[in-house]
Structure 1
Amino acid sequence: MTPPRQRPRRGGSQSRSSKSASGSTKRSQPTRTVGPDAGPEVDVHDPDGVRLQKLLAAAGVGSRRQCETLISEGRVQVDGVTVTELGVRIDPLRQVVHVDGDRIQLDESRVYLAFNKPLGVVTSMNDELGRVDIGDYLSGRSERLFHVGRLDADTEGLLLLTNDGDLAHRLQHPRYGVLKTYLAQVPGPLPRDLGKRLRAGIELEDGPVAVDSFKVVDSQPGKALVEVALHEGRKHIVRRMLAEVGHPVISLVRTQVGPIRLGDTKPGKWRALSSAEVSALYSAAGM
């Protein structure tokens, strides 16, 4: 007599193994990939939101089709959850999106500008003493913008402007060590060990300071052009540091903040940062 065929047990070892490897996913309800240490499934779908691929395309990540491919390949995360379904909708004002680990700003009200502050202009949006300030160069804009850090009136160059308060705070905080790069003209000649001394650190009245990098860009009789990079943000730090080693600054230009370069932006002019530059700023700020 042939023994009766046994029905597979529900929840058997094979089923558990398969589920453990891939996790269960309901339509339009993306979840975290379930692993040995994974927490509970997280649904990031907002039925009242906007389709994810549409938002990514509008943010300049790529065409709608390219963004759909990024989602399908598991390269897009929403609030830390990898999304692979094309029907997902999200709230761009509330949820955080990363593509290949880079944060994408989806809020179209956010503004990110690179401004070339001219010599003699005060770092203020509305100077109480009536001096020429950076607000005078932005009179056509309606947004309430913050300047990320400051430049002295007698220092020119790159100043970041944004209405993204969280990012502005992070970029200025010493904890995140965002580098600022300057070109300084100083009296020459320069001793050969100047860079070594500055990298080792020197003592100022408010504590020690050390540069992250130093190089001589040009040298002429009686003067030299040097590039200094440091993450310090103390007042007049570059001028005080170079004066301490016997080479007071003649002129000073900030050329870079984190990954953002001044480039060929003319004094008194500004340009909007690209989506790639904004993502790079978020990365530099650890966001």
Structure 2
Amino acid sequence: MGEERLQKYIAHCGISSRRKAEELIKNGNVKVNGIVITELGTKVDTDKDIVSVDDNSISESNKLIYIKLYKPEGYVTTVKDQFNRKTVLDLIDIKERIYPIGRLDYNTSGLLLLTNDGDLANKLMHPKYHIFKTYVAEVDGYISDEAINKLKNGVNVEDYKTAPSKVKLINHSGNTSTIEISISEGKNRQVRKMLDAVGHNVRMLKRISLGKIVLDNLKPGSWTYLKKEEIKFLKGNHEG
């Protein structure tokens, strides 16, 4: 392949997004031919140089992989967990190194995408890429039309106001309500915080779609490769 910027090469090898690769370099986790490199923009000869991350040599994967997983509750979406909790990678038995695009909370289930395409992962996690993420939420209490309208128009959460969202009531049952909510942002624990802001504690939260990509018939803990049209959607300029 010839010369390539070090952070770009790390992303192409499926180790991380390019932004995360820059952090790895700055933190001294990357070596080229046994020498620690901390300068961004360093070029490597991908045919000759030996690049290692955390002392593990890496090489470019010829096969880009795109997977959708039905994440069960009780799994973290980090590659490694400091508390030794189960990670989503424990559910996927392939030899290639992949990592999640974005996150789902430990107690949230549903659709999660994983890939070794660092450039695509970086693009999808960028704030300007507004792909609607749709969730089903079961909450305590009877959720009113007023609360639903507040969610639709945006609510104040900590130091920001959420963007308008799509919300519809699915049903009321006893002292619980179930809604479907679609957001274009993806801040930490955003749906839970939004519902808390209108006075409803979340009992259950499941992501059912990312734009045109849906869970389909996946069962909790199972996964499948994305179809060509799903990959095309992610690589296009769609907004959900």
The TM-score normalised by the length of structure 1 is 0.59
Mapping of residues 110-125 of structure 1, within 5 Å: 110-125=64-79
Instruction: Give me the whole-angstrom Cα distance separating, in 2, the residues matched to 1:159 and 1:225.
Output: 21
Partner SS for 2:76: coil
Amino acid aligned to 2:233 = A
Are 2:209 and 1:225 equivalent residues in the alignment?
no
Per-residue deviation, 1:260: 0.7
Measured against aligned partners, the alpha-carbon deviations of 1:167-190 in whole angstroms (never above 9, x if no partner) come to 111111110111111000012312
User: Is contact 1:167–1:285 with CA below 8 Å preserved after alignment?
Assistant: no
Contact 2:101 2:121 in 1 (8 A): yes
TM-score normalised by structure 2 residue count: 0.71
AA partner of residue 268 (structure 1): G
Is contact 1:213-1:230 (8 Å) kept? yes
2:213 paired residue number? 260
Cα deviation 1:249-287 (Å, max 9, x = unaligned): 11100111121101220111101111111111112468x
- Structure 1: gaps (5+ residues): 1-106
Q: Which residue of 2 aligns with 1:179?
A: 132
Query: In the comparison of the two structures, how many residue pairs are matched?
Result: 179
1:277 lines up with 2:221 in the alignment: no
State the partner residue of 1:157: 110
Find the aligned partners of 2:225 and 2:140 in 1 and give their Cα distance: 36
Unaligned runs of 5+ in 2: 1-60
- In the alignment, the residues of structure 1 paired with residue 141 and residue 237 of structure 2 have an alpha-carbon distance, to the nearest angstrom, of 35
Look up the equivalent residue of 2:68 and give its one-letter code.
A
4+ aligned runs moved over 6 Å, structure 1:
none
2:87 aligned to 133, 140, 165, which one? 133
Once the two structures are TM-superposed, the CA of residue 191 in structure 1 deviates from its matched residue by 1.3
The alignment yields a C-alpha RMSD, in angstroms, of 1.7
1:145 correspondence with 2:92 = no
Matched, 1:167 2:120: yes
Q: Distance in 1 between matches of 2:200 and 2:164?
A: 15
**Relative to total residues, which structure has the larger strand share, 1 or 2?**
2
Q: Which whole-Å CA distance do the structure 2 matches of 1:263 and 1:136 have between them?
A: 22
Distance 1:285-1:162 versus aligned 2 partners, 3 A rule: farther
**CA separation of 1:285 and 1:110: change in aligned 2, threshold 3 A:** farther
* Contact kept? 1:116, 1:157, Cα under 8 Å: yes
Cα gap change, 1:108 to 1:225, in 2 (>3 Å): farther
Equivalent residue letter for 2:73: L
What is the percentage of aligned positions where both structures have the same residue?
Answer: 37
Deviation at 1:193, TM superposition (A): 2.1
SS in 2 for 1:123: coil
